[in-house]
Chain A
């Protein structure tokens, strides 16, 4: 680990002490306590620890460390499992534990701004009175900080239904390696590549996140827990796939293998039915009827798959009793050895049986016993080895078994880490999952955004040379191989001749549905309508209903969405992987067909909204969701009236005779709304009207909440469609003055961000980052299209 040299570090210390006073810890005894995390095997002694209390502090800290050639590691509660926040010797730790502010929840838009040091588990008390909750719940949620959750893109048992941290981060306030403060907003707000997705899971290598805006969920009315016991592991994993494919999604679906059951029973933590060789814990939440339906369905599927018993718990105490074994599993394993090596492999849900068999075979071959628990609903397994790191021979066996298990998981199409991160632990293992093209591109991104390597060096992404375009073809494989080859050729030609590239998506087609994994792979040239046709009659569907985008390439480039956005979010919540060719000429695939994946930078969601400036997509992997069709469409006046509806599924507004008629689909219509079965036709008509050429240019803007009325006032001519939850306005309008007024509010930006004023230059960070990324992905500008104008 590099750091300031002897003389430089003395001056660095002095300046830090001058600026931060007693908040700069420098005594050896004290800084040593920041040298570890929960993984337990990584250790380093930092030069100093600075307890920051504001974004101002972070800005100054970065400036000082930078001037003296030091390195910085941001740290929350130090509960990570991959060494992500463990400093190298001589580095400076920025402790974010004192960033404790939490805003008042915005119940209407389901948002909450929290600072990085706020503990995940403390949010519940804040949100309960508002009927809201924050779903991601990593095992450490009672102690881990939101900043740490964002850095590692933490998951947890609830991810099967509600997604992981990255799906909940609506905006990020951060300071980059050059001291630039800024706001990165996700989804439709900022436009351009999704920089917030890139920073989430980057393990603090791109800057220091000081606060985030989280998107929340309606709190479920009831929860029901069910324990299904099986004699054989294969029965349990077949049951998982069947439950998932049935379209009745549990809120958690946890798995304990035979070794865990035995360990938990041996230590008296819990008892399971006689003959249990594997146990599934299934939880449903939501409205009572929905929950009971889910439970009945899961019970039937369980029994059909050979369950030997099915226990159901409705009260909190009974539920706690069923959870005892799962919650206590890690501690029980810890008693078998001095250390526990916890793995974190994720495979497509329909490959769980094979993965478990591989774990068993590999462990046995190395004379080890794996104790496996996991979030089966996500295909995320944690095989644990208890061992003694000081026993060199055992240590070697554990680590070669570990590597073989990772390789087996990659061979099954999985990710080597679902929620724990790369840190230092898996830095040398990313190459199992990625080829030279992906690793080279990833390193180039890191260098572009932190040219000095100031932020958390040696974590998350390994140093790797960029492949030369002429060598890129070697990596080409898979169903779209021919098309990919042609694209690479075209890119090379365009670069050589200094021309723009206009990709032809017609050849990039093909739909592969996997109901048992709740995923689909689509060609970039397929249309959203084609996928809908393919899935008609199934229990699962694709959630995003774009208003304008036809093909998946369009959807990826524009991040289009429709009235379902309020319930389903935008594409970022549903995109799992993208295969693409960069403007530089690499063929790469980031992401996997799994919902939990924190291996390396998120260079697939980054493409969302990028207008094709980063690469040409070939194939996308998407998450499917259960179809939920509430019978109620209703309507009322006023733009802000939707607050009273629960189970909201779709929402839009249209001008009708001087007022804005609000249409919404929900399970319980709010007071004062009238049934409106005609709403879907109104929506379909508007979509057609908006797409029609002629009748003025198409205006498609997003404005801050506060400016909505003013922008609407200027337009006020049909066809016009408003998506109030995202602030989006679509209209056909020929009057240039009206358009100018509507646009004058500008996009929702830093200044208007939830009513808070942020330091100037906030948008500058996003602009500069975009420029730097374009230079990495498309050095000769061959992807600059008409869209960019």
Chain B
């Protein structure tokens, strides 16, 4: 959709306001989805000058898309957001150094491979160092919250498997065992599943969200080609944000005549791991009353892929407690916590309070970014709760489900 048409779908009803984490913090129209849309309209029509200040609100946005879920008239907000951010980038207002570094790192296959090897060998030492330096900038704080590298289970190759797991970038460096466990769980649930051969690389979600659309398109083409080469029918990502972005490839490459159709076909094949497991009727051992757990939605899984009920069915049991505002962002939002650590921290504090209200000892999530952010929250709240990826939690309780 052309951005002006997208803007025109907004009828200014304001139903998005309360769903927006930044609006709830600042209580100004400028920090709301409706205000951001009106701002871009003003900028595009020339009523308001286009400057880093007038576009700053697009950087402040978490991009969680909760407003899309609340919108009665179907405004494609993310498209508007990405245009705003791309225009901001065009004004040469670069993201912070840490964010630039992260974006460069995940684009390079070589760097990713070495990072993966390095992390396996040196994670505990790096973490010790990072934790000692803790408090010196948001990048280090996040690094310090990472989990140590753990043994990755063997996944015997299954050439031509129907379900292909997109390993991703950071996911493949820090959480390779979660990817592997997902493949094994899907097999246990009766599907033929395998990890996509390296290197499919990063899906480009972070680049698109930072306004670098050319890079994002290039990376999309690589992922599509890699997937097509496997002959698989379904592509799965263990990161909610990546999954939603993969689903949007059709839109991303809509103006590329050579790739449009391939991208659309690819988009139709994107699925999510919880949905697949749930559809197969897979169940792990339910949580007992004593081991209280709760679930934090990944924004993009919930609002982008519209996956809401499946993970909850997989987690159902006496010990499950739904958190107030589980569907609202934790403040991770891709690399938002690097770019806008100040706002991200306020959002995270609110989230930690809600988690504490549930009394949960474990918080389950479905996205590495959220997992890392919540681990940060736990570290700074004295580690009152553990954080698990949905797949890891299911893995630890596999095979002995009741009934």
Is B72 touching A40 in the complex (CB atoms < 8 A)?
no
Bound Cα distance A334, B72 (Å): 9
Most chain A CB within 10 A, of B14, B30, B35, B48, is at B14
Chain B residues whose C-beta falls within 8 Å of the C-beta of A340 in the assembled complex: 11
Q: Separation in Å of the B44 CB from the closest CB of chain A?
A: 13
A140 and B13 contacting across the interface, CB-CB below 8 Å: yes
Bound form: Cα–Cα A774–B263 in Å = 74
Measured CB to CB, the nearest residue on chain A to B36 is: A33
A330 CA / B30 CA spacing, docked (Å): 25
Q: Which of A25, A30, A330 has the most CB of B within 10 A?
A: A30
Cβ of B198 under 8 Å from chain A: no
| Shortest CB distance A77–B (Å) | 6
Nearest residue, chain A, Cβ from B13: A38
Q: Say which one of A108-116, A117-125, A375-383 lies at the interface with B.
A: A117-125
Chain B, 14-51, CB within 8 A of any chain A CB: 14-18, 27-30, 35, 38-39, 42, 47-49
In the bound complex, how far is the Cα of B54 from the Cα of A28, in angstroms?
A: 10
B17 touches A143 (CB 8 A): yes
Q: Which of A32, A38, A328 touches B38 (beta carbons < 8 Å)?
A: A32
Contacts of A98 in B (CB 8 A): 27
B-facing residues in A3-60 (Cβ within 8 Å): 25, 28-30, 32-34, 36-38, 40, 51
Residue among B8, B27, B42, B54 with the highest chain A CB neighbour number at 10 A: B27
Contact of B18 with A30 in the complex, beta carbons under 8 Å: no
Cβ of A79 and Cβ of B13 under 8 Å apart? Answer: yes
Q: Which residues of A contact B72 (CB under 8 A)?
A: 328, 330-331, 334
A40 near B48 with CB under 8 A, answer no
Closest to A53 in B: B27
Q: Contact residue range for chain A? A: 35 or more
Report if B93 contacts A (CB, 8 A).
no
Binary interface encoding of chain A residues 141-178 relative to chain B, with 1 for a CB under 8 A from any of its CBs, else 0 = 01110000000000000000000000000000000000
- The smallest beta-carbon distance between B388 and chain A, in angstroms, is 27
Residue of chain B at shortest CB distance from A78: B14
> With contacts A331-B72, A338-B8 known, is A30 near B30, CB below 8 A?
yes
Measured CB to CB, the nearest residue on chain B to A81 is: B13
Contacts of A328 in B (CB 8 A): 72
- Check A29/B15 contact, CB under 8 A, given A51-B27, A331-B72, A338-B8: no
Question: In the complex the two chains form, what is the Cα distance from A334 to B73 in whole Å?
Answer: 7
Distance A119 CA – B12 CA, assembled complex (angstroms): 17
Report A316 CB to chain B, min CB distance, Å: 13
Q: A397 an interface residue at 8 Å Cβ cutoff?
A: no
Query: By the criterion CB–CB under 8 Å, are A38 and B27 in contact?
Result: no
Do A143 and B14 touch across chains, with their CB atoms under 8 A apart? yes
With A97-B27, A98-B27, A125-B324 known as contacts, the answer to whether A33 contacts B39 (CB < 8 A) is yes
Q: What residues of A have a CB within 8 angstroms of the CB of B160 in the complex?
A: none
Q: How far is the CB of B119 from chain A (nearest CB, A)?
A: 42
Find out whether the CB atom of B47 lies under 8 angstroms from the CB atom of A32. Answer: yes
Chain A CB within 10 A, most for which of B14, B29, B72: B29
Task: Tell me if A28 and B48 are in contact (CB < 8 A).
Answer: yes
Is A650 at the interface (CB under 8 A from chain B)? no
Q: How far is the CA of A34 from the CA of B30 in the complex (A)?
A: 9
Chain B minimum-CB-distance residue to A32: B42
Q: How far is the CB of A233 from chain B (nearest CB, A)?
A: 25
Q: Does B281 touch A at the CB level, under 8 Å?
A: no
Other A-B pairs beyond A36-B38, A142-B15, 8, CB < 8 Å: A30-B30, A33-B30, A34-B29, A51-B27, A79-B14, A95-B27, A97-B28, A338-B8
The 3 lowest CB-CB distance pairs between A and B, nearest first, are: A331-B72, A33-B29, A79-B14
Q: Which residues of A approach B to under 8 Å, CB–CB?
A: 25, 28-30, 32-34, 36-38, 40, 51, 77-79, 95, 97-98, 117, 119, 121-122, 125, 140, 142-144, 328, 330-331, 334-335, 338-340
